[in-house]
Structure 1
Amino acid sequence: MQVKEAAPEPAGLVASLAAFGYTVEASVADLVDNSISAHATQVDVDLIWEGADSWISVSDNGYGMSEDELVTAMTVAARWGAKRGKTDLGRFGMGLKSASFAHARLLTVASRRVAEDWHIRTWDLDLISEKGKWLLIEGATAEAKGPLMQALEMIDGPGTVVLWQRLPAYQGATEQDSRVKHQFLLESGNVTNHLGLTFHRFLNGPRAVRLRVNSSPVQPWDPFLQDHLSTVRMPTEELLLDGHLVKITPFVLPAPHRLTDEERQAAGRDQGWLKLQGLYIYRRDRLIAAGGWYRLRKREEKFNQARIALEVPAETDEHWNVDVKKSTAWPPVSLRRPLRSITDRACREAAISMRTRGRVAAMRNDSRLEFAWKLDKRSDGTITCRINRKHSMIQALLSGAEELQVTQINALLRLLEEALPIPGLRVLHETDAADDPEPFDGGSPDSDMEQVARNMVDVFVHKGISEREALLMISRMPPFDELKGFWNQDHDKDRGRA
């Protein structure tokens, strides 16, 4: 068999790597992966505006690399298939190069281990295109020395600096161009937000990574609002995949009315709640994908509070189709049925929470229904909970009472309003306990609730309402709308005949 080596043309391969579709924030996150894998405790990202000479750097205080390790790291796919440690966030051995080539024509990397000098290597993509060869430059170019020295000054000890220059998106721009400068500064905000989400477990977790963008600390963004008392964390389930366990933990976020304006905006970020519902896929605590149902179901407003964390073992990457950018993944076919069952349960809980919110709104705004209680929000933001004095039962009681009795009844109603056991109710609500009290003890038609319902029918009939209409009104009134009794039996028959 005759063979002949057909090596890829360097300039064409560089162009292909640069066309992977990296955003700036995704590329920076790929470099931060390397810093965390090197056990860095401090990572600095700097975006420096200087017009066409603008540059971006990522510096860390990790273990650093020897000279041979640096050359290997600069070689495309040199670590393809290499066995990785349990804390290594890499996969293909291409992240440094593909992430950098997407945004820079000049890539300089400096690294050192303890008690070593700095080792520096440079890829000049214009030189590669000109010579048609992979010519790795030893040391830094004159163009890179100023920014590189500025970045190296931030590291006292071992560490690594990755420097991007000749950013194609800003070639030809002047330092005074305010419009282009504004776009460059927007990238800084995008990077900050993306890193806060992607690495939120590292920023809050035991590994305690300090991450800064232009000297400002990156704040972690927990998509599940786990510190909020009203967040419901459902039981974690485990699914077996190729000998490894995939852990799934559903969360139901608090209804928006239970959040402050700031919390509500933070929970939706720029994308909004609808887009952020769904699966959050993690690989070694690093977020790969945020939101979306992956064809398990459609996005619907009633599921806005459902967010589900999936822990994907790195050993199962191939099953999840994790891409080079580590920004997308796809649930394997073998897990889709149990995943659909888990998502169904989470979405049901979210829908129940949404209905409860709607009921609260109706209690405040719907004049067609007779609620026993009225909720109102004052101008200072506080909420009042008052017994509905216009309820038919109360009106009937007051209209047949003497003056002294009316005074006593009103006093009793006011006492009940002011003596609400708010702390106890809050505990019961926030924990969503199985032993929460139910109206009439979840009674049957022969309990006290039937007598209360019959008294209400008598009151409505006395007011000139037909018995059938009275039953219909009661069947739509909390708590009877969730209970079975004589008030809804006729309606059930009608629906059956229909």
Structure 2
Amino acid sequence: MTDEIELTPEPKILIESLRDIGYSFESALADVIDNSITANASTINIMALPVNDSFKVAILDDGNGLDRESLLRAMRLGSSNPRDERAIGDLGRFGLGLKTASFSQCRRLTVVSRRDGQTSAFTWDLDTVVRENSWSVLERTDYNEIFGYDTLPENGTLVLWEKVDRLTGGNGSGRVDYDRVISEAQDHLSLVFHRFLSKEKGTPNLNISFNGCGLEPLDPFNMSNDATQASPEEIVCTGVTLRSFTLPHISTYADKAAYERYGLRGGYLRNQGVYLYRAKRLIIFGTWFGLAKKTALTQLTRVKIDIGTDQDETWKIDVKKVSAQMPEIVRKRVKTLIQAIGAPSRKVYSRRGARLTSPDVYPIWTRSENGEKTTYGINMEHPLVRAFGNELDDSLRNRFNSLMAFIGSMLPTEALFYDISNNADAVESQRLSHDDFATNARTFYAAIMQFKDEEGAIESMRSIEPYRSRWNETLSALGIEEL
């Protein structure tokens, strides 16, 4: 015989544990916005402001709003069954997001909702829950005392965070770099909801403002840039579509700031990989799901995968919607595609590398392969090196050749690999001074004039580095005016 014994969770213990699920400030905001989108909001206003020596966050929408009973039910932890079938645009799942996201940032959550002229409001105060050890919410009627209430639309909802201790300390008045926090949150929301903000076909018409600043969409694939390479969209399996992109190289941008903007926070190397969208809302990005390593050669590669809300169970979407497991059928397909997916990005960088070692461009470095080994060395047949060696007597020439061989053997491969892997675009060669550049340009020109005519020598120099990128200096050093 067995007896059932009810073990009711201790409210004061469980409520504190629920705060540590792992939300960041920006991911918590995104989870609240999901509810607004599900409620058919077209305008969402976020206010995150220091008020009376404390920090308050208010999220207002013009969605459908809730009546009293619906709002009270929504305030319950676990207000919906994650196994229930979701509407196509329903971004919720567990019935926990609003509460756990808010609790992760604040100790006092108030939700005010208005529908058909009727207003209701309830407050979760975690200090009250802990003190009374009871799952009790406070019903509010003092609407005018609630921050942000005066801007609540005729139909809509206000979510208010107070006692924001995770940012500001225990009493909500600690010192915080608000500018950084708000800027990072704005960038995150511009990215996560970029398909809504850009009015993509099939998404609700959505506008989000943050402290009075309208958010612009941040498309991680930079599809408006003609230099972006995109593959055709393909169906990997039922309910899963995939499309790969290779972003433009830095050399195609006139403005470095624009290039860095699309690198996202952390840069291109960190943010390569899969961008997983659930109902067109970005939930996970910058990961290969263990299928490939992040390398400099594929740092311009990003892969868009779209799934619907009916895929939650298959992908094991978590409460925060920032973690998922790629189903085996998708892993197998993506694994076979991974090399092809990365090929355009490799080509962008390999093409640049080829210019350094092609025999048609007088490389200063040679590259040779012997089995599994690739060896680099100084090209003793380079016109500048050969011209200098020819001016030496036999003794000095031998010493010069030995010195060049020594320098060639000391190529800092480990340091180069480390630097390029971390940020390939930040690695560059030492720049020649104007005088050194002019001297070498004249010497190189004289060397190749021994087997080319003047026009051929000029055209050769126009196509190779370092002369190509400093062409006006090259012409000046040679005393040539280009018509």
Confirm or deny a common fold (TM above 0.5): yes
Q: What is the aligned counterpart of 1:355 among 344, 350, 359? A: 350
Q: 2:230 matched to 1:236?
A: no
Give deviations 1:86-145, integer Å, cap 9, x for gaps.
Answer: 1110011100110011111111100112x322111111111111111111211157xx85
CA shift for structure 1 position 367: 4.4
Contact 1:122 1:140 in 2 (8 A): no
Amino acid at match of 2:213: S
CA shift for structure 1 position 313: 2.2
Q: 2:159 matched to 1:165?
A: no
CA gap 1:173/1:109 in 2 versus in 1, 3 angstroms: closer
CA gap 1:11/1:224 in 2 versus in 1, 3 angstroms: same
CA shift for structure 1 position 172: 5.7
Contact 2:243 2:305 in 1 (8 A): yes
Q: Report the Cα distance in structure 1 between the residues aligned to 2:446 and 2:343, rounded to whole angstroms.
A: 32
Amino acid at match of 1:109: V
* DSSP 3-state at the match of 1:104: coil
Give deviations 1:365-417, integer Å, cap 9, x for gaps.
Answer: 9446899xxxxx9xxxxxxxxxxx9599875352xxxxxxx7xx579969x99
Q: Report the Cα distance in structure 1 between the residues aligned to 2:55 and 2:362, rounded to whole angstroms.
A: 56
- 1:197-208 alignment, distance < 5 Å: 197-206=191-200, 207-208=204-205
Q: 2:344 matched to 1:289?
A: no
Equivalent residue pairs, number: 384
CA shift for structure 1 position 52: 5.1
Amino acid at match of 1:40: A
Q: 2:383 matched to 1:328?
A: no
Q: Report the Cα distance in structure 1 between the residues aligned to 2:308 and 2:172, rounded to whole angstroms.
A: 47
Q: Report the Cα distance in structure 2 between the residues aligned to 1:84 and 1:152, rounded to whole angstroms.
A: 31
Partner of 2:70: 69
Partner of 1:41: 42
Give deviations 1:455-491, integer Å, cap 9, x for gaps.
Answer: xxxxxxxxxxxxxxxxxxxxxxxxxxxxxxxxxxxxx
CA gap 1:255/1:185 in 2 versus in 1, 3 angstroms: closer
Q: 2:82 matched to 1:88?
A: no
Of 199-208 and 45-54, more deviation after overlay is shown by: 45-54
Partner of 2:190: 196
CA shift for structure 1 position 162: 0.3
Unpaired runs of 5+ residues, structure 1, are 372-376, 378-388, 399-405, 418-498
CA shift for structure 1 position 13: 1.8
Q: 2:336 matched to 1:318?
A: no
Contact 1:58 1:162 in 2 (8 A): yes
Q: Report the Cα distance in structure 2 between the residues aligned to 1:210 and 1:285, rounded to whole angstroms.
A: 15
Q: Report the Cα distance in structure 1 between the residues aligned to 2:356 and 2:308, rounded to whole angstroms.
A: 43
* DSSP 3-state at the match of 1:79: coil
TM-score between the two structures when normalised by the length of structure 2: 0.73
CA gap 1:340/1:159 in 2 versus in 1, 3 angstroms: same
* DSSP 3-state at the match of 1:280: strand
Q: Report the Cα distance in structure 2 between the residues aligned to 1:26 and 1:272, rounded to whole angstroms.
A: 19
Give deviations 1:405-453, integer Å, cap 9, x for gaps.
Answer: x7xx579969x99xxxxxxxxxxxxxxxxxxxxxxxxxxxxxxxxxxxx
CA gap 1:145/1:395 in 2 versus in 1, 3 angstroms: farther
Partner of 2:242: 248
CA shift for structure 1 position 186: 2.1
Q: 2:270 matched to 1:275?
A: yes
Identity between Structure 1 and Structure 2 (%): 28
Q: Report the Cα distance in structure 1 between the residues aligned to 2:229 and 2:108, rounded to whole angstroms.
A: 49
* DSSP 3-state at the match of 2:340: helix
Q: Report the Cα distance in structure 1 between the residues aligned to 2:195 and 2:181, rounded to whole angstroms.
A: 23
CA shift for structure 1 position 168: 1.8
CA gap 1:112/1:10 in 2 versus in 1, 3 angstroms: same
* DSSP 3-state at the match of 1:347: helix
Amino acid at match of 1:79: S
CA gap 1:26/1:214 in 2 versus in 1, 3 angstroms: same
* DSSP 3-state at the match of 1:330: coil
Q: Report the Cα distance in structure 1 between the residues aligned to 2:328 and 2:141, rounded to whole angstroms.
A: 48
| Superposition CA RMSD, Å | 3.1
Partner of 1:216: 213
Q: Report the Cα distance in structure 1 between the residues aligned to 2:446 and 2:354, rounded to whole angstroms.
A: 17
Q: What is the aligned counterpart of 1:155 among 143, 152, 155? A: 152
Amino acid at match of 2:191: L
Partner of 1:433: none
Contact 1:74 1:97 in 2 (8 A): yes
Q: Report the Cα distance in structure 2 between the residues aligned to 1:283 and 1:186, rounded to whole angstroms.
A: 28
Contact 2:67 2:118 in 1 (8 A): no
Moved over 4 A (4+): 171-175, 360-371, 389-395, 409-414
Amino acid at match of 2:230: R
